[in-house]
Chains A and B, each alone.
Chain A
Amino acid sequence: MTIATSIDDACAAMKAKPDALVLAGGTDLMVEVNRGIRPINDVVAVGRIPEMRGWSREGARGEVLRIGAGTTCADLTEPTIASLVPALAQAARTVGSPQIRNSATLGGNLATASPAGDTLPVLAALEAEIELRSVEGIRRLPLDEFVVGVKDNALVPGELIVAVRVPVLDGPQEFLKVGTRNAMVIAVASLALVVDRFGKTVRVALGSVAPIPVRAIEAEVLVAERLDFDGEVPPDSDLVDQFAGLVADAARPIDDHRGTAAYRRHAVMVIAGRALRRAFPGSSKVVE
């Protein structure tokens, strides 16, 4: 058992004990430990590394936000960071319960790489970059190269997720999550939509409808050409419907005990349309 207090500490311990489990907030790992399905011999605890918690602005104009992997979901809902990446804050607020949000970390959500990981669609839509550290040095991976399958990621032994970089965009962001309870629920389907007014693009990613977070590229391309990024004119119904349909086409859902594939595909279509309308209400804020 190593309780690391610095990233170097943690990496050294992980090098020394390649089989050790890395423990951050514990909200995923301990479920498996408690059930006895995760043997636990050696642990490197990374929950008390100050340099892994919190965020900073990078780049000439502060256009990149670097968020420490140890930042908790509760931290992510704080107003200062919520104003920079609203969708991430919205997603973080839907994670588990208040108790879970106090423990669960952004890095942990990434490491678990669950199809239902609430922050993952947001990170996918933001084209986040994941910063990994080991005694060998630093490795940076885009999200789509990091999450590689159901609960599977690109970490190699000895490697620790230390931070996530996302752009600070000028434009609205939306995260919508469908679940059958008003709180503390695993996503049946979720969607993140981020708008880059400067780049005149919309990026959309989906959760719980594929093994990994999926982007709806065709839908993004469609609306990028037709939306009024100055926000005067809202999208018309045809555009919203086409967009929603293309988003639904990007989903590759399955039937499970939380929902049917048919419902999931339908649900992402519905929330895609709603997200787009919310992001582009038009100057009068009247829809239709």
Chain B
Amino acid sequence: MSMVDTATVQRTETPTTRIGDSAARPDGIPKVTGDFVFSSDLWHDQMLWGGTLRSPHASARIRQINIGPALALPGVHAVLTHEDIPGSPDFGLDRPDQPVLARDIVRYEGEPVVVIAADHPDTVRRALAAVEVDYEPTKPLLDPTLAEDAPPIHPDGNVIRRIHLRHGDQEAASRSDLVSVEGTYEVGMQDQAFMGPESGLAIPDGEGGVDLAVATQWLHTDRDQVAACLGLPAERVRLTLAGVGGAFGAREDISLHIHLCLLALHTGRPVKMCYSRDESFYGHVHRHPARMWYRHYATSTGDLVRVEARLLFDGGAYASSSHHVIANATCFAAGPYRVPSADIEGVVVRTDNPPCGAMRGFGAVQSCFAHEAQMDRLAAALKMDPVALRRQNALASGDVIITGQRITGTLPVVEVLDACAAHPSAAGGPNEPMSRPGGAGRTADVEHIVRGEAVALGFKNLMFSEGFDDSSEARCVMHSGLVTVTTACAEVGQGFVTLVRQIVGEVLRTEEVVLEPASTNSIGSAGSTSASRQTWMSGGAVQLACEAVRRDLLARVADQYGVLVDDLALLDGRVVGLPNGEEPTLASLTVEPIEATIVHQHAPTLPLDDCGQGDAHVSFAVSAHRAIVDVDPDLGLVKVVELTTAQDVGRILNPLQALGQLEGGAAQGVGLAVMEEVKVVDGLIRNPSFTDYLIPTALDMPPLEVAALIEQPEPGAPFGAKGIGEAPTISSTPAVAGAIRAATGLDLPRVPVRPDDIALASREGRVSPEEAR
């Protein structure tokens, strides 16, 4: 063999794990055999069980806590109150405004007051019942519209954030020839309803520090909050990711983390805690309920001129990530449309309702429901086709959004809209009773059903914004041919673990990969698994680390053999391209390991100014959904018959996993449209269970038709890929709601659409099944 033989280099590789493949999940086998260890499966010798006593009141003063009777029970090892917190008494994702354990006041139903460790869950239950808390109930602040003027319920005040965005000519609507439509919309409180309840295991290290294994989205920020409350330096608190049974935003905040560590340090024993389902509803934040007033102005030919909106989000008792949720709601309030003039006021307030924070779609879900209803309303006022109106006003790369930021990346709005709208429907008729509205209840016959259809667009940023420019760190080590990747990125089910293998396969051409457990001990922060950011941030970090290793490896070979790096390539676990025809294996070349650690950052963003203007976002994504629904107007029951989607994905890295995100995200959007709501009455959650908080079953979810995945590689993104997790949840809800409006002729300004909203609506304007046919 002589010179570099290009045929050799280009010969077919063994089928393997590359970018673009539907690679198999590395955690798939343990997940189907039952061997995968979720946080609730953790177990330790000599382990105690933890439990939490929560406030039964939305608002009350605590006069006295008597732990004596609980402590006296056999088997009880610790009963802790706020007095037992050695460090900061408060925690919080953005700012520490929430007591670890309530002191003198409780501000929402379910606020933790006492934590207990005992030898058996039943002992915990009895001990919790034995604690005597003397509450003096006070009048709760429940109406978000009154919050601003009400006496503050918290030292930080009742307005968590107000943004008053003004863009373009503020007199633009003064022209007399404009068409305007106005509406007030409402979104109910949605729950993430992940399947694996909050759980974790804390183990004291015997030297005053603690190890915590927990299901979370963001290990390092958890670690920092836990350490601050324990009064320990960060390095003495080590967090490791335990198996996560879904997240969807609900694991971005602290839940049982600090409590577990307090109990473990206090008892000197490992302590496990696992929330029951009802406790889970009290133990994490929800999607913000929202009230939104909108007015759209357009020319008579359908060009949008100005959007005005007032968004009021109920943040509940503590800030969580409300500060950023309202920014998203405000920045994306007008949707993926060219809007030259805007006046959007977004306010998020504090009340004694359950705290709200991150959930998939993060603020964009609420405003999308409103702006898409407005677009349909505007189309009706203009007597235009709703798809045509959207197309006419669609944003494109190079346009400026209402924050004044120019879109420099890709944004195929027209492409997703047209693909989705033009896709042929495969929906059959409501032939089987089980597939009609009402399902197993056999309530509807064919003649009772009307069908409706609508299209909606969704628009959101990718990654964190407003100068919150977090990074992700990754390490890649190649040693004797084995690639070990370390990152603290939380795998919550989305398939980052698969992607790591694909990136290693793509860059280093080997299947010999180990992904270290995500932990705060071994690497720096990966940031949060949220905001559709981990593929870009941690995927990017892994890519850069692998590329650095590749560079060093090839340089080593070039040096060793006296050849040029450019002549060399990696193939099937070997280096090829040596003039002597030798193909040294990666194993032989890395007896001495090669290591690279990279901190990956995205392009910097800027804060919003006083007018809500600024280059606050890194990147944007758009999606379209078309919904076809069958409605039984007399009973107000709905069956979503078919969903069709097209999405702006940048580049597809794993088609099968991408499909899973699209289908799963759409299911949460369908749920919000027709059934999901945490019902809060007088500040109390009335349905904290899977019996009464309904999420779609297999008989409720329609098939999802994927019309197109628009692949326009995003500059600056690893492999050109955009995050895809959130968009499916954003545009699906307004599409379903729009289709119900189309079927019934009703306004339906609120989701979830309740049976009453349809069946008891004034018959005026309502389409009857007879008329519809």
Contacts and interface: CB of A to CB of B under 8 A. Distances in A.
B195 to A, nearest CB: 15
Contacts of A139: none
B760 A181 contact: no
B694 A181 contact: yes
Interface stretch (A157-165, A197-205, A212-220, A259-267): A259-267
B276 A35 contact: yes
A258 B635 contact: no
A172 interface: no
B636 interface: yes
A182 B438 CA distance: 5
B186 interface: no
B441 A263 contact: no
Interface in B677-717: 679, 681, 686-687, 691-692, 694, 696-700
B681 A257 contact: yes
A233 interface: no
Interface string A244-281: 00000000000011111011001100110010001000
A66 interface: no
Interface in B738-762: 754-756, 759-760
A177 B445 contact: no
Contact of A263 (B276, B444, B636, B681): B636
Contacts of B447: 287
B610 interface: no
A137 interface: no
B122 interface: yes
Residue of B122, B125, B434, B440 with most partner-chain A CB within 10 A: B440
Contacts of A180: 637, 674-675, 694, 754-755
Contacts of B754: 180
Contacts of B625: none
B442 A177 contact: yes
A183 interface: yes
B75 interface: no
B755 A267 contact: yes
B635 A267 contact: yes
Interface stretch (A9-17, A140-148, A184-192): A184-192
A178 B440 contact: no
A186 B691 contact: yes
Interface string A73-115: 0000000000000000010011000000000000000000000
B416 to A, nearest CB: 29
Interface in B431-476: 434, 437-445, 447-448
B440 A93 contact: yes
A257 B679 contact: yes
B637 A257 contact: no
A90 B443 CA distance: 11
Contacts of A243: none
Contacts of B674: 180
A278 B446 CA distance: 12
Counting chain B CB atoms within 10 Å of each CB, which of A175, A260, A267 scores highest?
A267
B634 interface: yes
Contacts of A149: none
A282 interface: no
A54 interface: no
Nearest to B444: A274
Contacts of B698: 183
B387 to A, nearest CB: 29
A231 interface: no
Given A175-B442, A258-B692, A181 B675 contact: yes
Nearest to B687: A257
B34 to A, nearest CB: 17
Nearest to B692: A257
B619 to A, nearest CB: 37
Contacts of B694: 180-181, 185
A36 B438 CA distance: 34
B269 interface: no
Interface in B110-155: 122, 125
B440 A183 contact: yes
A256 B691 CA distance: 14
Q: Which of B125, B442, B639, B691 has the most CB of A within 10 A?
A: B442
A26 interface: no
Given A36-B125, A257-B687, A263-B760, A178 B438 contact: yes
A262 B443 contact: no
Contacts, number: 99
**Majority-rule SS of A interface residues:** mixed
Interface string B723-746: 000000000000000000000000
A176 B442 contact: yes
Interface in B243-274: none
B76 to A, nearest CB: 15
Contacts of B276: 34-35
B700 A182 contact: yes
Which label, helix, strand, loop or mixed, suits the secondary structure of the B interface?
Answer: loop
A45 B474 CA distance: 57
Q: Most chain-B Cβ atoms within 10 A of its Cβ — which of A185, A188, A271?
A: A185
A182 B759 contact: no
A154 to B, nearest CB: 26
A150 to B, nearest CB: 16
Given A266-B760, A267-B755, A181 B696 contact: yes
A263 B761 CA distance: 11
Contacts of A179: 438-439, 441
Interface in B613-670: 634-637, 639
B10 to A, nearest CB: 54
B639 to A, nearest CB: 7
A186 B440 CA distance: 12
Contact of B634 (A176, A182, A270, A278): A270
A209 B686 CA distance: 19
A134 to B, nearest CB: 31
Nearest to B690: A184
A189 B143 CA distance: 31
B694 to A, nearest CB: 5
B692 A177 contact: no
A262 B759 CA distance: 10
Given A36-B122, A274-B448, A178 B635 contact: yes
Contacts of B437: 182
Contacts of A178: 438, 441, 443, 635, 637, 755
B700 A267 contact: no
A186 B687 CA distance: 12
B756 A262 contact: yes
A188 B759 CA distance: 14
Nearest to B276: A35
A260 B276 CA distance: 28
Contacts of B439: 179, 181-183
B664 to A, nearest CB: 18
B755 A259 contact: yes
A183 B700 contact: yes
B445 A278 contact: yes
A182 B639 contact: yes
A184 B278 CA distance: 18
Contacts of A182: 434, 437-440, 639, 697, 699-700
A34 B278 CA distance: 12
Given A184-B697, A257-B681, A266-B759, A177 B440 contact: yes
Contacts of B686: 256-257
A183 B674 CA distance: 14
Contacts of A274: 443-445, 448
Contacts of A174: 442
Interface in B40-83: none
Nearest to B681: A257
Nearest to A34: B276
Contacts of B700: 181-183
14 contacts: A177-B442, A180-B674, A180-B675, A180-B754, A181-B675, A181-B696, A182-B440, A182-B697, A182-B699, A185-B694, A187-B441, A257-B692, A267-B635, A274-B443
Shortest Cβ-Cβ A-B pairs, 5 listed: A182-B439, A177-B441, A257-B686, A182-B699, A183-B699
